[in-house]
Amino acid sequence: MNPTTRYELPPQGISLLGYVVRRLHKTAWLTPIRNLLAQGKTVDVLARLAMYAVTASTSFGPAYYQPRFNAVGDRISEPDPETGASVWAELKASSPTFNISYAVTLPNGDVFSGDEEITGTTVGLRGLGMPAPSKFHFRSDAYEADLTGILTSELALSFFRGTRIRAYGFLNFNDNAGNSGKLTLDRSGKVTMQVNNQPSEILQAG
């Protein structure tokens, strides 16, 4: 059993917005940022923001069921039980595409917000893909960062393992401290990142 997808897709069922909120409950990535900024480590901050953006936008593990749909205008709020961060997600539109906005507010006042647009479903040899062009913004006092990219969730069908959810895609990002970089995610959950053209170690998202 994958504990992440079991949390995001609990046995009692969940709505699409509830799933998105639970997916965002990885805010432990964000809690060290205020201290890192105090030390002037903006490169580490930007890398950490990129990792949060990609992990909070994707799932890896069993796809137990499809979340039920919400009505346009619905908003779901649930704090991250690990950090106490306030998290909400709202369905802005459902036609012609699904548009979801969300925000995370940490106890110290730092804010991470985002918008994703689920443009439809593609059918391929590897499964059913749902591309989601996404953009994110982070603010901590005077520090700000922006991240944009396309992250595709994919349902992979298997007779032996059951339906599983995974993701792949990329993010480009920059901040007002002069840093910039790019992240790529593959279907196995491996993340490769560069900040200021310097390669970073391979990390794991799923």
Q: What would the pLDDT profile of 40-78 be if each residue is shown by its tens digit?
A: 999 999 999 999 999 999 999 999 999 999 999 999 999
% of the chain residues with pLDDT over 90: 79
Torsion (CA) 124, 119, 18, 60 in degrees, nearest 10: 30
The b-or-e profile of 61-93 (16+ CB within 10 A means b, else e) is: bbbbeebeebeeeeebeebbeebebbbbbbbee
Q: Is the pLDDT of residue 21 over 50?
A: yes
pLDDT tens digits, residue range 64-74? 999 999 999 99
pTM for the whole thing? 0.92
- How far CA 86 is from CA of 5, 34, 139, 143, 206, in Å, comes to 20, 17, 15, 20, 23
Q: Is the pLDDT of residue 98 over 60?
A: yes
Name the CATH topology of 3-204.
Porin (2.40.160)
pLDDT tens digits, residue range 127-184? 678 889 999 999 999 999 999 999 999 988 776 667 899 999 999 999 999 999 999 9
**Domain extent listing, the chain:** 3-204
Q: What is the model's pLDDT at position 202?
A: 53
Q: Is the pLDDT of residue 206 over 60?
A: no
